[in-house]
Amino acid sequence: MNEKAVRNLIVETVICAAFYVGSFLASRGGVHVLSALLLIVYALGVYICRFRETGNLVDMKGLFVLAWVGGQGIACLQLSNLQTDWNVWTWVSFFLAYIGFCAGYLQKRTPSEDREISGDAISANRLLICACALAVISWICFLIEFLAVGFIPLFSEEPHAYSYFHVSGVHYFTISCILVPAITVLYWKAKEKKSTRDWVLLGLANFTAVAVPILCVSRFQLLFAVGFAVVVYILTNKNLNWKVLLLLLAIMVPVYVGLTVARNHDVEYLNGIFDMKNRNTPIFVTQPYIYVANNFENFNCLVEQIAEHTYGLRMLFPVFALTGLKFVFPELTTSPIYITKPELTTLTMFYDAYYDFGIVGVLLLALAIGFAAKKLTGWIHRSGNPVACLFYGQIAIYLGLAFFTTWFSNPTTWFWLALTTVMYLFVGYRKKERKVADDREN
């Protein structure tokens, strides 16, 4: 960290504070459009600057500012009756989360960040094995869950059928197939010549990555699978094929709508939950708006209603879940959740940090995430292992959806990172190959 970088952080903090204060005052004055525009303009400005500096559409800081600050800007429009003026400490928490991330991200840029990301034939073959193994395991675990619960969500009339389609411990493996499309992108980058067998195996594996989320009626898993693959594609290809990205978008929109219908969520049902001020607002505007804006409202509910902090219990939930301690000591996971409406349970990335330690928790978590994001950005370019890109892709998705949920106190997040670590070790393992090469030389 040099003196210039510190000065830049101070300048950015002052400018950001000015935008936040302006947005706060405009919101308090009832000028919600201005309040929203100030934060949205700031977020877009920072993202554009990051892109011009790095040339990376999925730059970690750029994605975070769009999701976190830009998401707050969208929420400031207050288009729903569920929304209220935020508490002063909510505003302070939101501001410190962004500045904390920037402070953690403040590390020297190294030339290694510009290196090409690639692989070799050995890596490619092992990536193919990983993709196929995940697909097979996913189908086996899906069958186990089907036999255990007795139904498939896609064919159930229950609006929240997916919530009941879980066998503890097994479901982590069921949905791990959503890593397959991103692995496929790496395989295509690493291997020059693909055989017919490769096409068939990868086709079946990617069919699994689409079919399982559809059968589970999980829009998020499907979008995550595609978004994860897109991030890895952008990261590993300097010359982007925009036609491919636009085609994916064109396919995903009707699929998303279809899954909404399959979950028995009609327009009347959704409008009743979202409680928009303008009842004539189209559902294709209402749904994404609420899925961004209400998460910040839930955070504000927490700030205003919390009775006492839990000092680590919320953020340690992955430990309790993955070790089974939540079944032995259920009182560890019984803290109430503060939200605007029972149906709208998604939260922001920093919800549990505030729940545990208040504003201090938000700031410390933001610092840690910013530091880790910057270190990861440099590491993936130094590593000769293509699976390193999967770590980047996952963290990038979490930052790009910082408004959505408490990623780092979610056991699924850590399970996927652990699974990626196993694949990283498997794909990068070279001891046998080196021994064979040494024997040939001798």
Instruction: Round to whole Å and give the CA distance between 344 and 286.
Output: 13
Mean pLDDT of the chain: 87
Q: For residue 308, give the DSSP letter.
A: S
What pLDDT, on a 0 to 100 scale, did the predictor assign at position 116? 54
Tens of pLDDT, residue by residue over 16-73, are 999 999 999 999 999 999 999 999 999 999 999 999 998 888 999 999 999 999 999 9
Across 36-50, 314-328, 391-405, least confident range = 314-328
pLDDT of 120 over the 60 cut: yes
Q: Considering only residues 135 and 118, tell me which one the structure prediction assigns the higher pLDDT.
A: 135
Instruction: Round to whole Å and give the CA distance between 28 and 33.
Output: 12
What pLDDT, on a 0 to 100 scale, did the predictor assign at position 111? 47
Instruction: Round to whole Å and give the CA distance between 345 and 294.
Output: 9
What pLDDT, on a 0 to 100 scale, did the predictor assign at position 251? 63
Provide φ and ψ at 382, rounded to 5°: -85, -25
pLDDT of 430 over the 80 cut: no
Q: Considering only residues 52 and 438, tell me which one the structure prediction assigns the higher pLDDT.
A: 52
pLDDT of 400 over the 90 cut: yes
Across 61-70, 85-94, 187-196, 209-218, least confident range = 187-196
What pLDDT, on a 0 to 100 scale, did the predictor assign at position 428? 86
The DSSP result for 378-400, as a single string, is HHHHH-S-TTHHHHHHHHHHHHH
Give the whole-number percent of the chain exceeding pLDDT 70: 86
Domain boundaries, the chain: 117-268+409-435
Across 34-48, 129-143, 420-434, least confident range = 420-434
What pLDDT, on a 0 to 100 scale, did the predictor assign at position 435? 46
Tens of pLDDT, residue by residue over 359-394, are 999 999 999 999 999 999 988 878 778 999 999 999
Tens of pLDDT, residue by residue over 227-263, are 899 899 888 887 766 666 666 666 666 666 665 655 5
What pLDDT, on a 0 to 100 scale, did the predictor assign at position 308? 92
- The gap between the terminal CA atoms of the chain, to the nearest Å, is 48
Q: How many CB atoms lie within 10 A of CB 146?
A: 16
Q: Considering only residues 179 and 251, tell me which one the structure prediction assigns the higher pLDDT.
A: 179
Query: Which of 39, 63, 56 lies closest to 396, judged by CA?
Result: 63
